[in-house]
Structure 1
Amino acid sequence: MTIIYLTRHGQTEWNKAHIMQGWQNAPLTDLGKAQAKQLGKKLRPIAFDAVYSSDSDRAYHTAQIITQNQPKTIIKLASLREINLGEWEGKSLQEFEQLNPTQYHNFWNLPHLYVSSAGETFFDVKERVIKTFEGLIQKHRKERLLIVAHTVVVKTILAFVENEPLKNLWVLPYIHPTSLSIIRTDNQTKKIELYGDISHYEDE
Structure 2
Amino acid sequence: MLTLYIIRHGETEWNKAKRMQGRLDSDLTEKGRRDAKLLGERIKDIEFKRMISSPSKRTLHTAQLVRGTRQIPVETDERLMEIDLGDWQGRVESEIRDLYPAAFDAYWNRPESYESAGGESFYDVANRVASFLEDLQKTSLEGSVLIITHAVAVKALYMLCRNAAVERIWDPPFIHGTSLTILQIDQDKKEFLLEGCMAHCE
TM superposition shift of 1:117? 2.3
Identity of paired residues, percent? 38
How far 1:187 sits from its partner (Å)?
A: 1.6
SS of 1:200's partner is helix
Find the aligned partners of 1:162 and 1:127 in 2 and give their Cα distance: 15
What is the distance in 2 between the residues matched to 1:26 and 1:137?
A: 32
Conservation of the 8 A alpha-carbon contact between 1:9 and 1:148: yes
1:80-107 Cα distance to aligned partner (Å, 9 max, x none): 1000000000000000101111111111
Which residue of structure 2 lines up, in the alignment, with residue 97 of structure 1? 97
> Deviations for 1:121-169, whole angstroms, at most 9, x for unmatched residues?
0011111111011211221111210000000000100111111111010
Compute the displacement of 1:27 (Å). Answer: 0.6
Aligned to 1:173: 173
Give the corresponding residue for 1:140: 140
> Match of 1:83, as an amino acid?
I
Question: For 1:34-183, what aligned pairs fall within 5 Å after superposition?
Answer: 34-183=34-183
The unaligned stretches of length 5 or more in structure 1 are: none
Greater shift in the superposed pair: 145-154 or 130-139? 130-139
CA distance in 1, matches of 2:92, 2:53: 26
Q: TM-score, normalised on structure 1?
A: 0.97
- Say what the alpha-carbon RMSD is for the aligned residues: 0.8
Tell me the equivalent position of 1:191.
Answer: 191
Q: In 2, distance between residues paired with 1:20 and 1:123?
A: 19
Shift of 1:116: 1.1
Code of the aligned partner of 1:138: K
CA distances 1:4-28 after superposition (whole Å, capped 9, x unpaired) = 0001000000000000000000010
Structure 2 SS opposite 1:49: strand
The whole-number CA distance in structure 2 between the counterparts of 1:41 and 1:119 is 36
Give, in angstroms, the shift of residue 109 of structure 1.
Answer: 1.2
Q: Is the 8 A contact 1:50 1:74 kept in 2?
A: yes
Measured in 1, the distance between the counterparts of 2:68 and 2:144 equals: 17
Contact in 1 for aligned 2:85/2:117 (Cα 8 Å): no
Runs of 4+, deviation exceeding 6 Å: none
Cα distance in 1, alignment partners of residues 166 and 3 from structure 2: 24
What amino acid does structure 1 have at the position aligned with 2:69?
N
* Structure 2, unpaired ranges of 5+: none
Residue type at the aligned position of 2:162:
E
Mapped pair 1:22 → 2:22? yes
